[in-house]
Structure 1
Amino acid sequence: MKNQVGLDQEKSNRLAEKLNLLLADYMMFYINVRGYHWNIKGDKFFELHVKFEELYTNLILKVDEIAERIVTLGVTPKHSYSDYIRSSDLGEELNVSDGVQAVKNILSSYQLLLTKQREILALAADADDEGTNALMSDYIREQEKLVWMYSSFMGK
Structure 2
Amino acid sequence: MPRRSVPRPLPDADIHSEGFRQTREARRGALVEDYVELIADLIEDGNEARQVDIAARLGVAQPTVAKMLARLAAEGLVSRKPYRGVFLTEAGQKVAEESRARHQTVEAFLRCLGVSPETARIDAEGIEHHVSEETLQAFRGFIARKG
TM score, norm. by length of structure 1: 0.30
More helix by share: 1
TM score, norm. by length of structure 2: 0.32
More strand by share: 2
Compare relative contact order (CA 8 Å, sep 6+) and give the higher one, 1 or 2. 1
Which of the pair has more CA radius of gyration?
A: 2
